[in-house]
Amino acid sequence: MKKIKVSIIGATGYSGRELIKILLKNPQVELTNLVSASYAGKNINEIFPEFLHQLDKNLIELDIDKISADSDVVFTALPHTVSLDIVTDLSNRKELKIIDLSADFRIKDPDNYAFWYKKEHTEKSKSVLKKAVYGLPELYKDIIIKSSLVANPGCYPTSVILGIAPLLKNKLVSPKGIIVDSKSGTSGAGRKLALGLHFTECNENFKAYKCTMHNHISEIEQELFYLYGMSEDIKISFTPHLLPINRGILSTSYLEMEKNVNENDLWEIYKEFYQDAPFVRIFNPSILPEIKFVNETNYCDIGFAVDSRVNKIKIISAIDNLVKGASGQAVQNMNLMFGFPEESGLV
């Protein structure tokens, strides 16, 4: 079996580390370049001793030519707005596939992107944007397979969109007044220095943050708009919260029922909607998802409750933010792009 050559730009963040961890389990993959601006020259084992005995490789500076030369696919795991130029540059290299874990190519409308991310697209990046596919395999598997540039979804959006897609697609709920209350572990904030991320500050604590304008709203609203048939703008009220755990997101979504359904109906509708999605698990109505069930897995677990006293449907959806919310989903996309089994290296 010939292995594909894989490079990671941004190898020493939490998404980068998780990519390495997952790819080491994949026999079809050879890691060729690990790029880190902060730690170039050091061995990956000095930064992450957990890879001792598994990977012995030095981190390098960013070098687009070198990377293009010996990669079949590049994962870019960089902060939002930093990815824009680098991916644009990479995307002009023939035969190279790119999976970008930032938000920079997720938003179809450049003005919308500029509004939420305070950064303007260039002419070049706009033309690259047109080729990009929003990498949620459960919705876009057919085009991901043929794509060379995948914009890997955000962690919150993955949990929210998968959680409520069947309701909007089947118009069981009102597109108005959707409320999403999400809770994430601290690894979602990345590996940068910040007092607010210190153990003593997060531990035994819980808080809301970016209470009305978290930039993940943009991709959630974009995808809900498509799902509901593009007939009307969808605006959600979204509140992210910080959980004192390392990994995991649980989102609780509240939607107004428009068709009368009970929990068993929903169970059937969801199972049908996700019948070809190996990584979505629909819980029977007697049990609800919990973050621990998806820990270190690529699953998105979905449960529901019909609150008939107030005519609402509540959706509970859970993922591991570093796996299905980032690096696992990126590898799922890689598998699709290269014709590997979708679950390869992921179960």
Q: Which residues are catalytically annotated?
A: 155
What the block records as the tokens of 207 is 């808080």
15 near 326, Cβ under 8 Å? yes
Of the ranges 123-131, 149-157, 182-190, 323-331, which one interacts with its own copies (CB under 8 A)?
182-190
Bridge partners (DSSP) listed for residue 307: 312
149/261 with CB nearer its own copies: 261
Q: Look up tokens 């929990």; give the residue.
A: 263
- With respect to its own copies, which residue has the nearer C-beta, 185 or 325? 185
> Which 8-state DSSP code applies to residue 120?
P
In the region spanning residues 196 to 225, those forming contacts with its own copies, defined by CB under 8 A, are 197-209, 211-212
- Choose which of 78, 172, 227, 243 interacts with its own copies (CB under 8 A): 243
**In 203-249, which residue ranges form alpha helices assigned H by DSSP?**
216-227
Q: Which residues, numbered 3-22, are part of the site for its own copies (CB under 8 A)?
A: 14
Give the residue, chosen from 173, 291, 319, 331, that forms a contact with its own copies under the rule CB under 8 A: 291
Separation CA 126–CA 305 (nearest Å): 42
What are the φ/ψ torsions at residue 235 (nearest 5 degrees)?
Answer: -125, 135
CA 40 to chain centre: 26
Site string for its own copies, 136-175 (x = CB under 8 A): ----------------------------------------
- Residue from 195, 230, 231, 339 in contact with its own copies (CB under 8 A): 195
Contact at 8 Å (CB) between 76 and 51?
A: no
Q: Establish if 89 lies at the interface with its own copies (CB under 8 A).
A: no
Mask: binding to its own copies, 44-83, rule CB under 8 A, as x and -?
Answer: -----xx-xxx-----------------------------
Query: What's the token pair of residue 80?
Result: 């939002």
What span, in angstroms and rounded, lies between the C-alpha atoms of 10 and 72? 17
Q: Which is nearer to its own copies, 1 or 65 (CB)?
A: 1
